[in-house]
Amino acid sequence: MPNRKKVLILCTGNSCRSIIAEALINAELNGISADSSGVKASGKVNPNAKKVLEEAGIWDEKYHSKTLDTVIENDYDLVVTVCDNAKETCPVFPKAVKTLHISFEDPDGKAYEAFQDTLEKIREKLLPIIAKELK
């Protein structure tokens, strides 16, 4: 699909929110593909983030915690920061790209229900905004 729009989801650790958002976008938004990255990537996917995506039937082994330098040269139509720290430390991309900030509470260290809640909030709040921005 040559006209596929690309979005980068950026957070601090790239272990929960951004991975969940990446998987949801790839599974549910036609014509849009997502990557995710962390400004200080943790190097691991939170086990509860993986579990919530498995339960939703959208986990893929390709999802992993990535550092910014692995994606900074990619062409994106949109960059979305999903935590305040990432917004404050969001780098300047080599190519001009539109950026949005939509913050979600970090479920890391909380009960599994917090991950389910995060998935639903991202689905309800973030996906419609991205779909509208990248029409």
* Model confidence pLDDT, tens digit, residues 86-122: 677 766 676 768 889 999 999 999 999 999 999 999 9
Count of CB atoms within 10 A of residue 99's CB?
A: 15
pLDDT recorded at residue 84:
78
Pair type for strands 98-101 and 32-38: unpaired
pLDDT recorded at residue 44:
94
Q: Where are the domains of the chain?
A: 5-126
* Average of per-residue pLDDT across 48-68: 96
CB 15 within 8 A of CB 45: yes
Count of CB atoms within 10 A of residue 78's CB?
A: 19
Among 52, 53, 83, 126, the one annotated catalytic: 83
pLDDT recorded at residue 6:
96
47 token code pair: 């086990």
Among 7, 10, 11, 21, the one annotated catalytic: 11
Q: What band does 1 get if pLDDT is binned at 50, 70 and 90?
A: very low
Residue % of the chain over a pLDDT of 70 = 93
Pick the CATH number of 5-126 from 3.40.50.720, 3.40.1000.10, 3.40.50.2300, 3.20.20.60: 3.40.50.2300
83 is catalytic: yes
Residue % of the chain over a pLDDT of 90 = 71
Q: What band does 23 get if pLDDT is binned at 50, 70 and 90?
A: very high
Supply the pTM of this predicted model.
0.93
CB 41 within 8 A of CB 35: no
CB 31 within 8 A of CB 3: yes
90 is catalytic: yes
Among 29, 90, 102, 127, the one annotated catalytic: 90
